[in-house]
């Protein structure tokens, strides 16, 4: 685990960092001012969604993601590969039958209107350049949990796509430089399914490609803290120290965030904190750091699951805030569990905002606090060594 910084065109990101997900160019239920008040450092936006609606060309005309949304800090866009290779979005919709992955790229139908589309590495790079995030991702095939033969096939395709992504990325950046628009950074993605040999092979390939950062993707990342750690442990000795390590889709809970940082993650993102909040699942607890040693840190919660479920009837008369020890704007304003539960039941829009503020505050604060411990711990170690 380590603390560091990433210089982008819009600000310096202090790592480790949790990146809230703003699928449609907005973190659900919150405004950009609220995201700033939470001190979110970087937002993730989804290429697939923004390409289909409102259209990446339109976003570009309206000033790119920064101009369009008013967010002044960095954005990261995913490649669209995850969505179009049918892992999450199309499951059980019938549309996954219409998704076809070839060496060229992915043919798919829009989940909005059924219209036909194609995205390959070149298209992904073009769309991501139009969106104008600070960090873009190479086009990849997110490998589902599968056989070794398929995982190898998908990994090799991802490697070929990485080469094509880079070639296209370089051209896009030349164009941006000529137009006087800020340039972007690109991360390559390690795939290889649940197989150590493939993961190591993929890691060496991605490192060899010389991208600005290294991401770890695939269905086995973020499944559980243990699986994430095992995946990173397989490749740890190969990873270059000078490049940020991004664990994709990791951070389902504050405990998972702590575990990700302890695994060595510099960046990670997960839709869960906001999604859980909207369904009534709210984090309870705070970071504990025995002996001020961040390696021993854990998320200390009085509840084994680390969260309460507001839909439970026992909260109907509960006048306490979500978490009496939480300094977030929702808890410190004194909103009670009973009132929030009522808003949730009545589907009142204020609920989504109040609940999301709490969960994101817990996530972001946990990671920032842990970072401070890492910084102090390494200073202490250095002064002892010196």
With respect to Zn ion, which residue has the nearer C-beta, 164 or 358? Answer: 358
- The catalytic residues are 78, 269
With respect to Zn ion, which residue has the nearer C-beta, 215 or 355? Answer: 355
The three-class DSSP label of residue 48 is: helix
Read off the tokens for 203.
Answer: 């890691």
Q: Are 306 and 299 in contact (CB under 8 A)?
A: yes
Least spacing, CB of residue 360 vs Zn ion, in Å:
10
Q: How far is CA 59 from CA 25, 47, 54, 130, in A?
A: 10, 11, 7, 7
With respect to Zn ion, which residue has the nearer C-beta, 159 or 358? Answer: 358
Residue 250 phi, psi (nearest 5):
-105, 135
Residue ranges that bind Zn ion, judged by CB under 5 A: 326, 328, 330-331, 358
First to last CA, the chain: 21
With respect to Zn ion, which residue has the nearer C-beta, 259 or 326? Answer: 326
Least spacing, CB of residue 323 vs Zn ion, in Å:
5
* Residue listed under structure tokens 């960046």: 267
DSSP 272-316: HHHHHHHTTEEE--EEE-GGG-GGG-EEE-SSTTSEEETTSGGGT
With respect to Zn ion, which residue has the nearer C-beta, 145 or 288? Answer: 288
State the alpha helices, DSSP H only, in 210-264: 225-235, 254-263
Least spacing, CB of residue 326 vs Zn ion, in Å:
3
DSSP state of 182: P
Q: Are 151 and 198 in contact (CB under 8 A)?
A: yes
- Write down how long the chain is: 386
Least spacing, CB of residue 260 vs Zn ion, in Å:
22
With respect to Zn ion, which residue has the nearer C-beta, 230 or 275? Answer: 275
Q: How far is CA 101 from CA 52, 82, 119, 142, 326, in A?
A: 19, 12, 10, 11, 46
Q: How far is CA 328 from CA 276, 323, 359, in A?
A: 17, 9, 9
Least spacing, CB of residue 46 vs Zn ion, in Å:
27
With respect to Zn ion, which residue has the nearer C-beta, 210 or 334? Answer: 334
168: closest CA among 232, 229, 123, 223? Answer: 123
Least spacing, CB of residue 307 vs Zn ion, in Å:
12
Least spacing, CB of residue 325 vs Zn ion, in Å:
9
> What is d(CA 212, CA 191) in angstroms, rounded to the nearest whole number?
17
DSSP state of 238: G
> What is d(CA 322, CA 283) in angstroms, rounded to the nearest whole number?
8
With respect to Zn ion, which residue has the nearer C-beta, 331 or 340? Answer: 331
Q: Are 287 and 297 in contact (CB under 8 A)?
A: yes
Least spacing, CB of residue 62 vs Zn ion, in Å:
34
254: closest CA among 18, 44, 15? Answer: 18
């Amino acid at each position: 685990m380590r603390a560091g910084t990433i210089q982008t065109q819009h600000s310096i990101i202090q790592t480790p960092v949790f990146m809230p997900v703003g699928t449609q160019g907005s973190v659900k239920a919150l405004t950009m001012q609220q995201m700033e008040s939470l001190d979110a450092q970087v937002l993730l936006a989804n290429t697939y969604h923004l390409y289909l609606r409102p259209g990446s060309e339109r976003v570009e005309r309206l000033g790119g993601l920064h101009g369009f949304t008013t967010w002044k800090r960095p954005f990261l866009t995913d490649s669209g590969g995850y969505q179009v290779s049918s892992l999450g979005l199309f499951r059980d919709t019938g549309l996954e039958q219409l998704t076809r992955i070839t060496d060229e790229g992915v043919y798919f139908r829009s989940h909005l209107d059924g219209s036909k589309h194609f995205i390959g590495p070149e298209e992904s790079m073009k769309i991501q350049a139009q969106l104008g995030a600070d960090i873009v991702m190479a086009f990849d095939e997110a490998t589902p949990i599968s056989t070794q033969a398929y995982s190898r096939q998908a990994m090799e395709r991802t490697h070929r796509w990485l080469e094509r992504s880079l070639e296209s990325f370089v051209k896009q950046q030349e164009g941006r430089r000529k137009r006087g628009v800020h340039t972007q950074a690109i991360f390559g993605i390690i795939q290889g399914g649940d197989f150590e040999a493939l993961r190591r092979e993929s890691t060496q390939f991605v490192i060899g490609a010389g991208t600005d950062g290294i991401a770890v993707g695939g269905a086995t990342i973020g499944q559980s803290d243990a699986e994430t750690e095992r995946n990173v442990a397989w490749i740890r000795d190969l990873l270059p120290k000078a490049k940020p390590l991004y664990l994709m889709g990791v951070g389902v809970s504050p405990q998972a965030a702590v575990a990700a940082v302890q695994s060595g993650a510099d960046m990670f993102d997960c839709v869960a904190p906001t999604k859980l909040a909207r369904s009534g699942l709210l984090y309870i607890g705070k970071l504990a750091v025995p002996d001020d040693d961040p390696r021993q840190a854990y998320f200390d919660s009085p509840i084994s699951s680390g969260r309460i479920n507001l839909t439970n009837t026992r909260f109907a008369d509960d006048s306490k805030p979500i978490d009496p020890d939480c300094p977030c704007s929702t808890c410190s304003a004194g909103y009670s569990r009973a009132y929030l539960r009522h808003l949730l039941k009545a589907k009142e829009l204020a609920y989504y905002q109040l609940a999301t503020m709490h969960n994101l505050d817990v996530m972001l604060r946990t990671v920032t606090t842990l970072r401070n411990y890492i910084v102090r711990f390494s200073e202490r170690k250095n002064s002892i060594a010196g």
